[in-house]
Chains A and B, each alone.
Chain A
């Protein structure tokens, strides 16, 4: 040991390994590193988005005007789609919040064997495409599906009572089913931070479960609920696959309108107008979501 140290000392002299006074280039211009990804985003996303805005101001007749906006805003189809989109999204969000809160409560605070597996399953659920839910609902509630089959088998009637699938209610059910995990996940994360001693203290003081939920759990869960809820709201506003798979002629949302105007009617200025409106609503709400979730984290 001492021998090693002696060798070390003789050979090194403990000099500093480098001198020089150049300062690094990247350290003084950190924004340089941001150029390539921003350029990529600009070409693939911002430039196309700008073209959509530009095209929304260029009617087929030539020139630049707000005529396409006037035309689209005047059409019944647009107004109905706007209304359908908004109430479907709002309704789905409320449904997801209520259902998600109940499910997360049980998983977190009344755990049962397999509760963790259920939580994992909910995670996996997020990685499936949305239209899968609609496809499944066709078999459960479709005209010849499971529920109606059960009804006709039992009653001998020719048709079952469940005919809501091609109505907005079918879309609502599918959206609530698919997007509830987006609420459950942040809630479970928030609940895991909650001190269980607080609940036990409240319980030992004689508070009933409903009161504990309202007074202790709900306030803690509010930020997660707000963040999850606004994300679901935006995703519902933008949802396309679920509505498309329902195949309901009566249910037209803004994304459906964009698709049908562009692909089926080749009315690009009209499609672009609807797209701009849809983007404005969604981005506005998403901005709100970011603010809320930042508050929630702080």
Chain B
């Protein structure tokens, strides 16, 4: 509708491909290609192998994957609970109080995750909360980092929710708790699962705060990928990264299945 002549259209599309392919498609393909290779000194990788994957799916790597999955699951559940609760509480408040509460819960987005990691390290290395070197400290840091995203998506969904539903329920004699449980939360479910997926993906890839906090027996996959590339094992690192991406996408896909069953409108 903007460009009408055939030639101009093709020129625009060519420009799009020239920008899009090397910047966005190529990186993913390259990592995928490298994960099956032993050597890359020419245009294409060479020395096809699946060895990196057999290494990436057992032992230390498998444990790191499990660690990442468990951390992400725990952190997103916690974040979803806290974020939803805060969004619901804020929706019940008026004017200034509501804005303060909303601002508090988006603050973690603006604070660098390295600083969140440092702050949690500082705070929980001394009494009254001594968590340094435990797996809980990693989960808590991830929770802090992703809660803001959960809160934002649930807040946005709440703002879109037609108040007529709550009012119809209240006029039928339902108390606020009943309205929340039977009407508002079910109607929010698609947004809640979307928020959970987002939190999960963010937590799966979290590196900055984790680097400062992880104990040796709770090494998430991104740390392992960094360790591999840092010692020059780029191809093994690529295989680990592909495993991480695949796991994240699988989880997102599973979550989106829940969403389609739960979207009523």
Contact = CB atoms under 8 A, between A and B. Distances in A.
8 contacts: A24-B175, A31-B97, A49-B115, A99-B23, A112-B16, A118-B20, A135-B237, A258-B112
Interface in B196-216: 197-198, 201-202, 204-208, 211-212
Interface string B94-112: 0001000101111111111
Interface in B179-198: 197-198
Contacts of B105: 37, 41
Contacts of A112: 13, 16
Contacts of B249: 124, 127
B2 A212 contact: yes
B1 A203 contact: yes
Contacts of B26: 136, 140
Interface stretch (A73-81, A102-110, A220-228): A102-110
Interface of B: 1-4, 8-9, 12-13, 15-16, 19-20, 22-28, 30-31, 33-34, 40-45, 82-83, 85-86, 88-90, 92-93, 97, 101, 103-116, 118-124, 129, 140, 143-144, 147, 173, 175-176, 197-198, 201-202, 204-208, 211-212, 222, 225-226, 229-230, 234, 237-238, 241, 244-245, 248-249, 252
A156 interface: no
A129 B207 contact: yes
Interface residues of A, number: 94
Most buried by A among B42, B208, B245: B208
Contacts, number: 268
Contact of A153 (B43, B83, B110, B230): B43
B111 A135 contact: no
B208 A240 contact: yes
Nearest to A130: B205
B101 A135 contact: no
Nearest to A133: B27
Interface of B is mostly: helix
Interface of A: 17-18, 24, 26-27, 30-31, 33-34, 36-38, 40-41, 43-49, 51-52, 55, 99, 102-103, 105-107, 109-110, 112, 118, 121-122, 124-125, 127-133, 135-140, 144-146, 149-150, 153, 176-177, 180, 196, 199-200, 203, 209, 212-213, 234, 237-238, 240-241, 244-245, 247, 254-256, 258-259, 262-263, 268, 271-272, 275, 278-279, 282-283, 285-287, 290
Given A132-B241, A286-B109, A149 B43 contact: yes
B104 A38 contact: yes
B41 A110 contact: no
